[in-house]
Chains A and B, each alone.
Chain A
């Protein structure tokens, strides 16, 4: 038996002076293996062609389609409607700037993050096109890949208690990004340099340990572990710097 789904969707087009923030409700017949990607696409093509939302790879790989699904951040493309009740409420992610309806501007937020943590390998070496690559232990490569799997969907930010209260908090994605470079033998930054980026209340010491990030990460990154490791390392780093000063 197929269900009739009721979708409550946040609507607002900031470019339209007549538009006011509101919720529109749509009825939809559920089909087999229906995802929110299929449902929303169908609504746009059949019921309201002005409906704004973001999908890209629709395979859970690119991170474009994060939204609040019945109050919880998640990727719409891999959310099956059969796992949800008859009534589904969709809202845009908080914290990120609204573009319209369910679409938010993650690009600007993340570019600022890369610049803040200098999200690249820092090295004084020059690339030698003639030489073999530097060797790396495969286990280290796999460990780096584990954190490199982050798709920057923004769910961990939307689910973060601190980030929802203070705009300058960097969030789990930022700290996990820095942790990725800390474990990379090619990055020559010192602990002190990492500390300067992250050893603050906007960084690791602002984390209240609520771990909403870990719960909602669609790629199941080990965020809890990384935050713990980072807090310990940065804590020691703070202590060392205290002694150095005295």
Chain B
């Protein structure tokens, strides 16, 4: 079998993985990135709206700074975030945006003079300062006090990823595309690389590395209705969980984005609302001002998604063969704005819906979008449980998002965390030597070879992998969605345990030769159901409502009992994760308080009940 050696193995070549590789390569270390698709097709490329960084150049961002960004992010997280990490992040975000500009991003720039903008369907005027001409500008996004989201039209993730990958090529970093890591190589204490399957030939390969990074993004595909790409099925989280020692942080923290289009769940950016778009119901009435008089359509995503679901439950959704939905209205922004600032949205609506957003309404409803959950790391990006293992980006729970991420903070996290974790890996590698244990490597490879053989021969059974996946997705969709309650969650856990038992009996229908797509999924299905169980079980145990986790039977945010982070590990042979908890944050710069949007019901740290009717 082919065996390759490197200093840093980045599993995942989206923005976070490549940024780490760049940092390592710049310091003279050898880096290899693995990607299951050509690097530039990674899901980072689908991020549309922008990247938050407090530059404060544009008129509506005047007097912005890292402190305001800090407050917005902690409030957005519903105080679930690690505040030391948030501070690290906000302080370095402006530099990250400028570095990306230096590397080639065509950020939209400040145009001096008077211009109109829309808020809540009404026109306002703003005047951009002449002395700021040509600096990087920003747009408005949900849950922010200032216009802070830097952008290139609505293709920000695309330009960031292309520029990042250009830098990777300039530095000569190796990218092995169409390679999927299927197991980490470790002895329970130290991680020394991964076993991977080549998706051009189907052959296994061992990558031995001093430092291994998981940067595989989120895993929205455990849900049926998700904005995520086909590839976001949790490969990195699964191999971490399989180690039995590396925990996932806050597996119950799953974000729903307010504006997935119906029926395909393709995302249309929050920039639509940031730029002044509104949400309408069946009567074409705006309903958000009634629920959120202050923030209206631009409350945080968890809050807007909940109100939309609530409004549909009131019978005010628009009926369709694909279930009820609401409307997103950007018509008033005008043709010029849509054709320059919302180009992807225009294309998506025309291509997939046959809707022209310049003259017509866009059918939308909340869809799964982001996993705040991820491989738990410390502030340096080092994973809990295994030396030599790191994680960054959406794959990680670093944890700057807590129970809800703000729009524009994920692109920013990939680039900022990529740099910080990259620096820490470089520090880690100074003088670090590792011994490769051939027995451990052999065992890991043999175990994977046997799994493949069993799936092909049908030794364990002949359950169909697609059926198991569909059952899992439906279960999460039905019972572990936007609103949750104890009865449904318990049911979900019970059902998922049955599904997990069946997942262990999957056998292939096809011959499994080469790059067989059925085998690719079958190798992951048990892991995916484990992730689903972590989500459902974590949600069942968390008897409070915080950020995206809204319990109908425990409506208050409970800072006395639940100001903490779930840590889920999985022991081999179990059919439930083991849950532990740690404080959400050791550093408290901003003590828990009201967010300023959403339903305010809080049990404070000293047990005082705030906002109870």
Q: Which residue of A lies closest to B134 (CB)?
A: A135
Q: Which residue of B lies closest to A148 (CB)?
A: B159
A56-B37, A120-B170, A152-B40 known; A15+B511 contact, CB < 8 A = no
Chain B CB within 10 Å, residue with most, of A55, A59, A145: A59
In the complex, A133 has a CB within 8 A of chain B:
yes
Chain B proximity of A65: nearest CB distance (Å): 10
Quick one: CB contact mask for B400-437 with A, threshold 8 Å, 1 for yes? Answer: 00000000000000000000000000000000000000
Q: Which of B544-558 contact A (CB under 8 A)?
A: none
In the complex, A21 has a CB within 8 A of chain B:
no
Identify which of B43, B101, B513, B516 contacts A133 (C-beta below 8 A).
B101
In the complex, B283 has a CB within 8 A of chain A:
no
> Which residues of B have CB within 8 Å of A127?
98-99, 102
Chain A binding surface SS class: loop
Question: In the complex the two chains form, is B352's CB within 8 Å of A35's CB?
Answer: yes
> Which residues of B have CB within 8 Å of A106?
38
> Which residues of A have CB within 8 Å of B101?
133-134
Question: In the complex the two chains form, is A99's CB within 8 Å of B95's CB?
Answer: no
In the complex, B177 has a CB within 8 A of chain A:
yes
Chain A proximity of B475: nearest CB distance (Å): 18
Q: Which of A58-79 contact B (CB under 8 A)?
A: 58-64, 78
Question: In the complex the two chains form, is A107's CB within 8 Å of B178's CB?
Answer: yes
In the complex, A88 has a CB within 8 A of chain B:
no
> Which residues of B have CB within 8 Å of A51?
517
Identify which of B109, B200, B229, B514 contacts A62 (C-beta below 8 A).
B229
Q: Which residue of A lies closest to B97 (CB)?
A: A133
Chain A proximity of B50: nearest CB distance (Å): 13
Q: Which residue of A lies closest to B268 (CB)?
A: A59
* Distance, CA A52 to CA B178, complexed state (A): 13
Chain B proximity of A151: nearest CB distance (Å): 7
Question: In the complex the two chains form, is A58's CB within 8 Å of B266's CB?
Answer: yes
In the complex, B474 has a CB within 8 A of chain A:
no
In the complex, A184 has a CB within 8 A of chain B:
yes
> Which residues of B have CB within 8 Å of A233?
none
Q: Which residue of B lies closest to A15 (CB)?
A: B514
Question: In the complex the two chains form, is B513's CB within 8 Å of A16's CB?
Answer: yes
> Which residues of A have CB within 8 Å of B200?
99, 105
In the complex, A192 has a CB within 8 A of chain B:
no
* Distance, CA A178 to CA B108, complexed state (A): 21
Q: Which residue of B lies closest to A49 (CB)?
A: B518
Q: Which residue of A lies closest to B167 (CB)?
A: A120
Chain B CB within 10 Å, residue with most, of A57, A118, A184: A57
* Distance, CA A51 to CA B517, complexed state (A): 7
Q: Which of B14-60 contact A (CB under 8 A)?
A: 37-41, 43, 45-46
A120-B104, A137-B134, A184-B104 known; A49+B46 contact, CB < 8 A = no
Quick one: CB contact mask for A103-146 with B, threshold 8 Å, 1 for yes? Answer: 10111101100110011110001010101111111101110110
A78-B351, A138-B110 known; A114+B201 contact, CB < 8 A = no
In the complex, A25 has a CB within 8 A of chain B:
no
* Distance, CA A187 to CA B201, complexed state (A): 39
In the complex, B599 has a CB within 8 A of chain A:
no
Question: In the complex the two chains form, is B46's CB within 8 Å of A135's CB?
Answer: no
Identify which of A99, A129, A148 contacts B98 (C-beta below 8 A).
A129
> Which residues of A have CB within 8 Å of B166?
114, 119-121
In the complex, B601 has a CB within 8 A of chain A:
no
Question: In the complex the two chains form, is B153's CB within 8 Å of A145's CB?
Answer: yes
Chain A proximity of B592: nearest CB distance (Å): 33
* Distance, CA A140 to CA B133, complexed state (A): 13
Binds A, one of B250-258, B340-348, B381-389, B531-539: B340-348
Identify which of B97, B175, B178 contacts A111 (C-beta below 8 A).
B175
Identify which of A52, A58, A78, A144 contacts B229 (C-beta below 8 A).
A58
Chain A proximity of B418: nearest CB distance (Å): 15
Chain B proximity of A243: nearest CB distance (Å): 33
Question: In the complex the two chains form, is B169's CB within 8 Å of A115's CB?
Answer: yes
> Which residues of B have CB within 8 Å of A78?
351-352
> Which residues of B have CB within 8 Å of A209?
none
Question: In the complex the two chains form, is A148's CB within 8 Å of B162's CB?
Answer: yes
In the complex, B466 has a CB within 8 A of chain A:
yes
Q: Which residue of B lies closest to A219 (CB)?
A: B347
> Which residues of B have CB within 8 Å of A60?
347-348, 351-352
> Which residues of B have CB within 8 Å of A45?
466
* Distance, CA A187 to CA B175, complexed state (A): 25
Q: Which residue of B lies closest to A16 (CB)?
A: B513
Q: Which residue of A lies closest to B172 (CB)?
A: A115
> Which residues of A have CB within 8 Å of B511?
16, 50
Chain B proximity of A90: nearest CB distance (Å): 16
* Distance, CA A54 to CA B520, complexed state (A): 13
- How many pairs of residues, A versus B, come closer than 8 Å at their CB atoms? 195
* Distance, CA A138 to CA B103, complexed state (A): 17
A14-B514, A107-B178 known; A120+B352 contact, CB < 8 A = no
Question: In the complex the two chains form, is B159's CB within 8 Å of A49's CB?
Answer: no
Chain B proximity of A9: nearest CB distance (Å): 14
In the complex, B510 has a CB within 8 A of chain A:
yes
Identify which of B152, B202, B515, B516 contacts A148 (C-beta below 8 A).
B152
Q: Which of B63-113 contact A (CB under 8 A)?
A: 95, 97-99, 101-104, 106-111
In the complex, A226 has a CB within 8 A of chain B:
no
Identify which of B153, B321, B509 contacts A32 (C-beta below 8 A).
B321
Question: In the complex the two chains form, is A129's CB within 8 Å of B515's CB?
Answer: no
> Which residues of A have CB within 8 Å of B153?
142, 145
Chain A proximity of B174: nearest CB distance (Å): 10
In the complex, A13 has a CB within 8 A of chain B:
yes
Question: In the complex the two chains form, is B514's CB within 8 Å of A100's CB?
Answer: yes
Identify which of A52, A114, A132, A141 contacts B169 (C-beta below 8 A).
A114
In the complex, A44 has a CB within 8 A of chain B:
yes
Q: Which residue of B lies closest to A14 (CB)?
A: B514
In the complex, B247 has a CB within 8 A of chain A:
no
* Distance, CA A119 to CA B135, complexed state (A): 24
In the complex, A33 has a CB within 8 A of chain B:
yes
In the complex, A166 has a CB within 8 A of chain B:
no
In the complex, A48 has a CB within 8 A of chain B:
yes
Chain B proximity of A219: nearest CB distance (Å): 8
* Distance, CA A18 to CA B207, complexed state (A): 31
Quick one: CB contact mask for A187-225 with B, threshold 8 Å, 1 for yes? Answer: 100000000000000000000000000000001000000
Question: In the complex the two chains form, is A129's CB within 8 Å of B109's CB?
Answer: no
> Which residues of A have CB within 8 Å of B516?
49-50, 52
Identify which of A56, A119, A152 contacts B231 (C-beta below 8 A).
A56
Question: In the complex the two chains form, is B229's CB within 8 Å of A49's CB?
Answer: no
Question: In the complex the two chains form, is B517's CB within 8 Å of A132's CB?
Answer: no
Chain B proximity of A38: nearest CB distance (Å): 9
Q: Which residue of B lies closest to A17 (CB)?
A: B513
Identify which of B39, B348, B517 contacts A49 (C-beta below 8 A).
B517
In the complex, A149 has a CB within 8 A of chain B:
yes
Question: In the complex the two chains form, is B107's CB within 8 Å of A141's CB?
Answer: yes
In the complex, A3 has a CB within 8 A of chain B:
no
Q: Please list the 9 inter-chain residue pairs (A to B) with the smallest Cβ-Cβ separation, ordered nearest first.
A: A15-B514, A135-B134, A107-B38, A50-B510, A49-B518, A144-B106, A107-B177, A138-B109, A120-B166
Show the binding face of B for A, using Cβ within 8 Å: 37-41, 43, 45-46, 95, 97-99, 101-104, 106-111, 133-137, 152-153, 155, 158-159, 162, 165-167, 169-170, 175, 177-178, 199-202, 229-231, 263-264, 266-267, 321, 340, 343-344, 347-348, 351-352, 465-466, 508-511, 513-518
Query: What are 20 A-B pairs with beta-carbon distances under 8 A?
Result: A15-B513, A35-B352, A45-B466, A59-B264, A60-B351, A99-B199, A107-B175, A111-B175, A127-B98, A129-B98, A132-B98, A136-B106, A138-B137, A142-B153, A142-B340, A145-B153, A145-B155, A148-B152, A148-B155, A186-B102
**A52-B516, A121-B103, A127-B98 are known contacts; what are 9 more A-B pairs with Cβ within 8 Å?**
A15-B515, A16-B511, A44-B517, A56-B41, A57-B230, A61-B158, A115-B169, A135-B134, A136-B134
